[in-house]
Amino acid sequence: MRTGTLIICLASLLCAGCATTGPGKGTFLDRYSGSKQLAQAETMLKEGDTHGAMHALDGICNGPAVAGVTDEALFRLALLTLKAKPGSAQAQHLLKRLKKEYPASQWTALAAPVSEQATSLEEQRRQNKVLKGSNQALSREVTELNQRLEQLKNLDQELEKKAR
């Protein structure tokens, strides 16, 4: 009877463990694996292996969602992506995903000013592109006006010669 009770208790614990895992929380194994990968990514960063850290963080972000792990990985990967390419659309996507999937996370709160800066940078780039286009159009117009002015000078000189 003791063995039967023990088996029932173990089965109940296993089922209860599975039943309490909600969406976005991840299983115990997911949490352990994600935490281990996150620690490896931090070690890689300390050793100067940014590419390796980004790869590890990307693996966490593309794996099962685990609150407290995936949200931190999203934040760190977004920062590393922004460092490599300021204003990156990928980084902005990661920050938006962080805000959407983990609104109550401390990493989402930390990401807010970073996201604002990235958006501001993108807006400045867009404005620069518009201004460059305007500048090129004005330069072409100035060139055309100079050519017309030169033509008018030549025409004026010809008219003076004919008038003499």
Q: Name 79's Cβ contacts closer than 8 Å, sequence gap at least 6.
A: 91, 114
Query: Using the 8-state DSSP alphabet, how is residue 19 labeled?
Result: H
Per-residue confidence band for 13, with pLDDT thresholds at 50, 70 and 90 = very low
Task: Kindly write down the DSSP assignment for every residue of 87-151, as one continuous string.
Answer: T-HHHHHHHHHHHHH-TT-HHHHHHHHHHHHHHHHHHHHHHHHHHHHHHHHHHHHHHHHHHHHHH
Model confidence at 14: pLDDT above 60: no
Determine if the pTM surpasses 0.85: no
pLDDT tens-digit readout, 106-123: 999 999 999 898 888 888
Extract long-range pairs of 13-20: CB within 8 Å, 24+ residues apart: none
Query: Using the 8-state DSSP alphabet, how is residue 85 labeled?
Result: S
pLDDT tens-digit readout, 90-107: 999 999 999 999 999 999
pLDDT tens-digit readout, 24-76: 566 788 788 888 999 999 999 999 999 999 999 999 999 889 889 999 999 99
Q: Identify the pLDDT of residue 24.
A: 52
